[in-house]
Structure 1
Amino acid sequence: MGGALTRYRVIAWIVGVVLIVLVVIGMPLKYLFDSPVVVETVGPAHGFLYMVYLVAAFDLARRADWPLKRMLGVMLAGTVPFVSFYAERRATAWLKKPAERTPEPVAG
C-alpha cells in the first residue's frame, strides 16, 4: 500500500499546485486583464492531472478499504483550491494510524 499512498500524495500535491496557479494567476489574468493564455494552457493540464488524481485516489481507497463516503470526499478534494493538500494529509494520517498501533515483534 506504500506505493499507492506515495503515488496519491505526489499527484495530490501536483493537482493542488496546478489548481492554485489556475485560480490565483490564470483567472485574474483572464477576467481582469483579458489575457486567457494561462487558463488556456493550465486548464487542460489540470483536467488531465485531475483524472490521474482520481485514479490514484480510487486505487488508494480500494487498497485501504475505505468507505464510499471517504473515497468520494478525497476524490472531490482536487476540485477546490487548497483542499487537496488537506485531504492528502488526512489520507496519510488515516493510513499511518493502524501501523503506529500495531506493535512490532521484538527480536530476541
Structure 2
Amino acid sequence: MLKIFRLIAILEGVSFLLLFGLGMPLKYKGGIPEPNIYIGYAHGFLFIGYVVLALLLTIEKKWGLKKFIILFSASLLPFGTFYIDKKYLKHSA
C-alpha cells in the first residue's frame, strides 16, 4: 500500500501545481475556464484518495495521529506531498 500511496502523493502534488499554476491563470487571466474544470476534478479525486490512503496507511503502520496530521497538512501546501515523499515515505518502504 505504501507504493500506491507514494504514487498518489506525487500525482496529487502535480495536480495541485497544475491547478494553481496553469488552471487558475487560464481561467482568471485568460478567460479560459475549461481546463480548470478537468484539472479540478482530477485534483479533487486525487486529494480524496490521498487523504483516505494516508488514514489507512497510518492505521496499518501504527504511525499515530501526529504523523497523520503531518501527512494531511502536506496535502494542503504546494510542494507538500513532494516533501513528505522525500522525508517520510522513501525511508518507510
Q: Which residue in 2 is equivalent to 1:58?
A: 55
1:7-18 equivalences under 5 Å are 7-18=4-15
8 A Cα contact 1:64 1:95, kept in partner = no
Q: Name which one, 1 or 2, has greater alpha-carbon Rg.
A: 1
Q: Tell me the distance in 2 between the aligned counterparts of 1:76 and 1:87.
A: 10
The answer as to 2:19 corresponding to 1:22 is yes
Quote the sequence identity (%). Answer: 34
1:38 maps to what in 2?
Answer: 35
What amino acid is aligned across from residue 19 of structure 2 in structure 1?
L
Equivalent position of 1:99 in the other structure? none
Letter in 2 for 1:50: F
- For the residue of structure 2 that corresponds to 1:79, the secondary structure is coil
- For 1:92 and 1:76, how far apart are their aligned partners in 2? 15
The residue type paired with residue 5 of structure 1 is: L
Give the conservation status (yes or no) of the 8 Å contact 1:15–1:53. Answer: yes
Which shows bigger deviation, 65-74 or 10-19? 65-74
Which stretches of structure 1, 4 residues or longer, exceed 3 Å deviation after superposition? none
Q: Secondary structure at the match of 2:32?
A: coil
Partner Cα separation in structure 2 for residue 72 and residue 6 of structure 1? 20
> For residues 18 and 57 of structure 1, what CA distance do their matches in structure 2 show?
17
